[in-house]
Amino acid sequence: MGVSEREHGFIVTARSETDAAGDRYTFSELMVASAAKEIADGELVFVGMRLPMLAFLVARRTHAPHAVGLFENGVVRETLSSALLYTMGDPPNLLGATQCGQMLDVMSLLQQGRINVGFLGAAEVDRFGNLNTTWGFRKKELQRLPGSGGACDIACLARRTVVLLVHDRGRLTERVGYITSPGYGNGTGWRRAQGLPANSGPSAVITTLGVIRFGEDGEAFLASVHPGVSVEEVLANTGWTLRVADELVETLPPSDEALAVMRELDPDHFWTR
Amino acid sequence: MAASKLMTMRDAIARHVSSGSTVLLGAQLEQMIPFSAGHELIRQGRRDLTLVGPISDILFDQMIGAGCVARVMAAWIGNVSAGVGYCFRRAVEHGVPRKIDVVDYSNFTMALALHAAALGVPFLPTYATLGSDLLKKNGDLREFSSPVSEERLVAVRALRPDVAILHVQRADAQGNAHVWGSLGVAVDGTRAAQKIIVVAEEIVEPSVISSDPNRTLVPGFLVEAVVHEPGGAHPSPVQGYYGRDHAFFSQYHEQTRGIEGFETWLNQWVVRADGRAEYLKQLGIERMQSLGVKEHAYTVPADFGY
């Protein structure tokens, strides 16, 4: 398993379809369905691309028909685009948009604290939800990655952020080598001490193995494991001693309705291999 | 009537962009990236450029690989649909073909840096980047205490490009330019720059521009040069003209993993394709046609009458 080099997005090439907990869905589909549940009806969402984009569309078509999507290039959308998107600037994402404004038009809402949730990918996430998309440390060699894009802005200013990534020890690391996008720093009170807005910060890290959330002290804990995945497997693939919730649950599988929407939007499993 | 500012890409670059300049490219993010202008900068052998832009997709990677660049000020540098930029990586990690400085911004702080320059003020405050390593490493982001509240904020220093190169759907010969679709940081980026080069898919009569003044992104009196360059943004999309050539981005990604592959790519698409017309000929009519608009979606006319 592993993510391709597409660090900007969320291509998950984890496992094959047959590895999934059942034949009914892939791990990527489970991640999308879980991500969709992080969006409540009527919320303003910084969408991003690929799996989060699908999650937003699933949410709109199922439980959150009034969620509004915002994109860093200034686009605001309330309807589904007519084609699969490779980038937020693809012509189908602009056709039928509610507004095509400037970057500052959407960033201004973000800084006011009006964006409920933003989706992010990462090369690395750490114990306190800090993200790195600037420097890779593969095979002991420093690799320059593309950088923040809007991720740092979203991590600083959205009320909640949700991170999607493949679960392995190289990616879930005790301490990121570079904080591109701040989470809870080193724990309690860190965000406020930096001057970051109250009521902001990481809400969930959805991986190929489970869902991680954060305690009052800013430290991550395992909140749910995906069907067919053991706690031991999660811990063995995490780069620090991950706390486990007292009331650990199994991640709910995608509903038939959510799967139908995903497969309608991505019939060839281009994003949800 | 004022003299036309229309000129060839070759003349526009020769006259208005010198080595060592700070150049804004790709203000509309993934749309309307002025690839043909970037390629002309490479062909004319510009060196020590500072590239500015939020993303600019693979154009920055190409210019870095060609050795034109001393510094990049950007939020994201790579290949948006395919992943990393190998030329960028080679330059940062190994100094090949030369060492470059990277000044990392976030999208918002890049927009604010240009907005500050557009407003003519030395900086603008924000909460973005607090707590991040971008703030620690980028000297143009400085923490300060608010003079009007008990808060820490980041001062984003104004960033004034020498030249902004803007690809647009249509402009008149004076440079009055219509843009629709993805705007990104184009309004601030052009207001911030000392000079503007407009690259247009179509040249239209001034009456077309003034029929819909809300769509005018740049007024012509700010523009130095207008280049008529259909297809000039390929492989990036231009809303209403052509779509994004995703395969081109993937193929570039595959081919440029190694430096020899990049040299071959550069020779084929930039050095030997001397000008956009040659480039498009090499690409083939069928390919551009396949990217063309399949179904028109015209806006409903707005009544400007009184």
- Spatial neighbors of B183 by CB under 8 A, at least 6 apart, are A73, A74, A100, A101, A102, A103, B28, B217
Please report which confidence band the pLDDT of residue A138 belongs to, taking 50, 70 and 90 as the band edges: confident
Asked if B244 and A4 come within 8 Å (Cβ–Cβ), the reply is no
- Spatial neighbors of A139 by CB under 8 A, at least 6 apart, are none
In chain B, the number of structural domains is 2
Asked if B186 and A110 come within 8 Å (Cβ–Cβ), the reply is no
In a domain, B111, yes or no: no
Residue of B nearest to A49 (CA): B81
Strand-pair category, B177-178 with B152-157: unpaired
Q: Which of residues 71-90 of A touch B (CB under 8 A)?
A: 72-75, 86-90
Q: Are A255 and A62 in contact (CB under 8 A)?
A: yes
Q: Are A57 and A265 in contact (CB under 8 A)?
A: yes
In a domain, B179, yes or no: yes
Residue of A nearest to B186 (CA): A102
Nearest CA to A95 among A72, A71, A79, A106? A79
Whether A72 is a known active-site residue: answer: yes
Asked if A89 and B126 come within 8 Å (Cβ–Cβ), the reply is no
Q: Count the helix, strand and coil residues of chain A and give each as a percent rounded to the nearest 5.
A: 25, 25, 50
Please report which confidence band the pLDDT of residue A53 belongs to, taking 50, 70 and 90 as the band edges: confident
- Among the partner-chain residues B83, B115, B239, the one whose CB lies closest to the CB of A91 is B239
Asked if A195 and B80 come within 8 Å (Cβ–Cβ), the reply is no
pTM here is: 0.95
Please report which confidence band the pLDDT of residue A5 belongs to, taking 50, 70 and 90 as the band edges: very low
Q: Which residues of A touch B76 (CB under 8 A)?
A: 8, 146-149
Q: Which of residues 15-74 of A touch B (CB under 8 A)?
A: 72-74
Residue of B nearest to A4 (CA): B83
According to DSSP, the residues that pair with A205 across neighbouring strands are A163, A212
Q: How far is CA A114 from CA A55, A104, A203, in A?
A: 20, 14, 16
In a domain, B176, yes or no: yes
Q: What is the pLDDT of residues A184-208, one digit of tens each?
A: 999 999 999 999 999 999 999 999 9
- Among the partner-chain residues A90, A101, A149, the one whose CB lies closest to the CB of B76 is A149
**Helix runs in A73-177, H state only:** 91-94, 103-111, 151-157
In a domain, B304, yes or no: no
What is the residue extent of each domain of chain A? 17-265
Asked if B131 and A73 come within 8 Å (Cβ–Cβ), the reply is no
Structure tokens at B100: 């470059």
**Helix runs in A22-98, H state only:** 27-36, 51-61, 91-94
The answer to whether residues B261 and B141 belong to one domain is no
- B81 three-class SS: coil
Q: What's the full length of chain A, in residues?
A: 273
- Given a cut of 60, whether residue A149 has pLDDT beyond it is yes
Residue of A nearest to B181 (CA): A100
Check residue B230 and give its pLDDT: 98
- Given a cut of 60, whether residue A18 has pLDDT beyond it is no
A145 vs B: CB within 8 A: yes
Nearest CA to A66 among A55, A77, A53, A74? A77
- Count A/B contacts: CB-CB distance under 8 Å: 191
Q: Which residues of A touch B127 (CB under 8 A)?
A: 111, 156-157, 195-197
> Chain B closest CA to A184's CA: distance in Å?
9
In a domain, B234, yes or no: yes
Asked if A194 and B76 come within 8 Å (Cβ–Cβ), the reply is no
Q: Which of residues 198-217 of A touch B (CB under 8 A)?
A: none
Q: Are A31 and A258 in contact (CB under 8 A)?
A: no
Q: What is the pLDDT of residues B107-139, one digit of tens each?
A: 999 999 999 999 999 999 999 999 999 999 999
> Chain A closest CA to B14's CA: distance in Å?
30
The answer to whether residues B152 and B221 belong to one domain is no
Segment (H or E) for B254: helix B246-255
- Given a cut of 90, whether residue A222 has pLDDT beyond it is yes
Task: List chain B pLDDT tens, one digit each, 306 residues.
Answer: 678 999 999 999 999 999 999 999 999 999 999 999 999 999 999 999 999 999 989 999 999 999 999 999 999 999 999 999 999 999 999 999 999 999 999 999 999 999 999 999 999 999 999 999 999 999 999 999 999 999 999 999 999 999 999 999 999 999 999 999 989 999 999 999 999 999 999 999 999 999 999 999 999 999 999 999 999 999 999 999 999 999 999 999 999 999 999 999 999 999 999 999 999 999 999 999 999 999 999 999 999 999
Check residue A13 and give its pLDDT: 39
Catalytic residue among A7, A29, A72, A124: A72
Percent of chain A scored above 90 by pLDDT?
A: 77
What does the radius of gyration of chain B's CA atoms come to, in whole angstroms?
A: 19
Structure tokens at B188: 């601030």
Check residue A243 and give its pLDDT: 98
In a domain, B115, yes or no: no
DSSP character string of B87-131:
HHHHHHHH--SS--EEEE--HHHHHHHHHHHHHT-SEEEESTTTT
The answer to whether residues B131 and B168 belong to one domain is no
The answer to whether residues B195 and B274 belong to one domain is yes
CATH architecture designation of domain A17-265: 3-Layer(aba) Sandwich (3.40)
Quickly count: other Cβ atoms within 10 Å of residue B142's Cβ: 13
Please report which confidence band the pLDDT of residue A82 belongs to, taking 50, 70 and 90 as the band edges: confident
Q: What is the ipTM of this complex?
A: 0.97
A100 vs B: CB within 8 A: yes
Owning domain of residue B151: 123-157
Residue of A nearest to B58 (CA): A146
- Among the partner-chain residues B76, B128, B143, the one whose CB lies closest to the CB of A156 is B128
- Spatial neighbors of B207 by CB under 8 A, at least 6 apart, are none
The answer to whether residues B225 and B280 belong to one domain is yes
Computed over every residue of chain A, the mean pLDDT equals: 90
A224 vs B: CB within 8 A: no
Check residue A36 and give its pLDDT: 97
